């Protein structure tokens, strides 16, 4: 059983100006609020409250950076899709998360968490379509797979795989449960691979003084 060992919180940012220097490859996690993103990160790190997001709509939206020693940054993006978020908060999400996803040079891939009981919502599709031009790999976790029977889970996986295949994106998809740890090893392998590829990229000018602390 693998675990993301040696992970530490780096910083929280609520404004693009506060983003940390682009010194290492990054994999970002995003999904609809309540999809199980925090639980997934905690399950992979085998920690109970590494990633924790208050469920109160209206709370400050933050991007949380974690350093996985020897690998890179894991970046926990605020969830999207609260039914009742005020317009100002939606704008803030667009500016903060949209800005990050559109321009972060060391971003090596995106992990999108979708509830396996209702995956590929309109908001999920919008996000994927919007992100497609970056030409970065997207790995989808179909979370809470423990809530589906084996047959339903297999069907969902096949359906989502086919739906993703119709989009102009390099995607992979798997079943995941933070409750019974189904798919944890597979997800960690995928993230490790994305970060390894990302760390092969040349350093971002002026950010690391030419030193890549990982690669
Ligand atoms: P986030 O808003 O995407 O970070 O979602 P959370 O990780 O906070 O999870 C939202 C709710 O789903 C919580 O009540 C979790 O306990 C529950 N949850 C998350 N992952 C799983 C899972 O794998 N299985 C089950 N049964 N429930 C889960």
- Tell me the per-residue pLDDT of 133-144, one tens digit each, with 9 for 90 and over: 999 999 999 999
Question: What pLDDT digit, counting tens, does each position of 121-135 carry?
Answer: 999 999 999 999 999
100-119 b/e (C-beta count within 10 Å ≥ 16 → b): bbeebebbbbbbbbbbbeeb
Mean pLDDT of 31-49: 92
CB 144 within 8 A of CB 152: no
- What's the predicted TM-score (pTM) here? 0.93
**Contact 181 CB / ligand 1 (< 6 Å):** no
CB-count exposure of residue 88 (10 Å: 0-12, 13-18, 19+): exposed
Give me the domains of the chain, ranges plus CATH numbers.
7-200 (3.40.50.300)
**Contact 37 CB / ligand 1 (< 6 Å):** yes
pLDDT at 84: 63
The model's confidence at residue 44, banded by pLDDT at 50, 70 and 90, is very high
**Contact 36 CB / ligand 1 (< 6 Å):** yes
């Amino acid at each position: 059983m693998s675990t993301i060992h040696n992970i530490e919180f780096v910083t929280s940012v609520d404004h693009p100006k506060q983003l940390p220097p682009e010194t290492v490859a990054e994999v970002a996690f995003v999904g609809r609020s309540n999809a199980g993103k925090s639980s997934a990160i905690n399950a992979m790190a085998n920690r109970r409250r590494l990633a924790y997001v208050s469920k109160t709509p209206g709370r400050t939206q933050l991007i949380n950076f974690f350093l996985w020693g020897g690998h890179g940054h894991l970046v926990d993006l605020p969830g999207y899709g609260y039914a009742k978020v005020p317009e100002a908060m939606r704008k803030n999400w667009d500016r903060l998360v949209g800005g990050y996803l559109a321009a972060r040079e060391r971003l090596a891939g995106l992990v999108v968490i979708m509830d396996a009981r209702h995956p590929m919502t309109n908001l999920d599709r919008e996000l994927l379509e919007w992100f497609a031009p970056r030409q970065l790999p997207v790995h989808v976790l179909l979370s809470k797979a423990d809530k589906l029977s084996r047959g339903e889970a297999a069907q969902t996986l096949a359906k989502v795989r086919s739906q993703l295949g119709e989009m102009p994106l390099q995607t992979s998809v798997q079943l995941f449960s933070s409750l019974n740890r189904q798919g944890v090893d597979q997800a960690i392998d995928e993230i490790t691979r994305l970060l390894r590829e990302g760390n092969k990229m040349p350093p971002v000018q002026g950010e690391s003084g030419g030193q890549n602390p990982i690669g």
